[in-house]
Structure 1
Amino acid sequence: MAMRKEVLLVAMMLALVVAAPGGALAACEVGQLTVCMPAITTGAKPSDACCGNLRAQQACFCQYAKDPSLARYITSPHARETLVSCGLAVPHC
């Protein structure tokens, strides 16, 4: 019975890590950043949804910057302004 409780506890902890924004096992989903395109491409003020998605994808920024199809967006001056406006640090990859 004690072993069963331990297994259940470990499974619940793993589920929390996977579900947590920015968690160690959180998937990088660049599609979540489409809500930020006006801010990244034109310098418009980022929405709350944009800032929330940036926070959730923060661990992925360097991976995105290494992708040739995404690098120009991730490293653009407006992208940096968007991060600062959302209160996030600009990554140094």
Structure 2
Amino acid sequence: MKKGSSIFAILLIAIFAILLGELLVAKAVICDIQELRPCTEAIIKSQPPSPICCTKLKEQQPCICGFIEDPKLKPYIKFTPQAKKVFKTCGVPLPNCSNVFNKKW
């Protein structure tokens, strides 16, 4: 009877490990600056961010520093007061990278 319980416990642990691995993979973010296009109007025209903008900003938040540090993207990324306002309105914390958010634009 003990052998059956041990096998069941090992099987249960294996299933748990597989499910946990799938959860971690599902949470991985694919960094794509194009995903932030819904936020363009809010940043450029000082309009309130749309729900889709906030959703995309939350999804891409772990990628922001990478976008800023990418030499190809850096010339196009400007963190104006309006951009900071969009982050705040969406409830997305400003990333702490290269002190970019402390610069005056």
- Tell me if both proteins adopt one fold, taking TM over 0.5 as the criterion: yes
1:62 deviates by 0.4
Q: Give % identity.
A: 30
The aligned counterpart of 1:79 is 83
1:1-93 superposed matches below 5 A = 1-2=7-8, 3-20=10-27, 25-77=28-80, 78-93=82-97
Q: 1:67 to 1:57 in 2, by over 3 A?
A: same
Which has the higher Rg, Structure 1 or Structure 2?
2
When the two chains are superposed, the root-mean-square deviation of aligned CA atoms in Å is 2.1
1:92 deviates by 2.2
Relative to the length of structure 2, the TM-score reads 0.68
Structure 2 unaligned spans of 5+: 1-6, 98-105
1:53 deviates by 1.0
Relative to the length of structure 1, the TM-score reads 0.75
Whole-angstrom CA distance in 2 between matches of 1:84 and 1:73 = 21
Question: In the TM superposition, what whole-angstrom CA distance separates every residue of 1:25-78 from its partner, at most 9, and x where no partner exists?
Answer: 322122211111112223221101110111111111100111234335543213
- Matched residues, number: 89
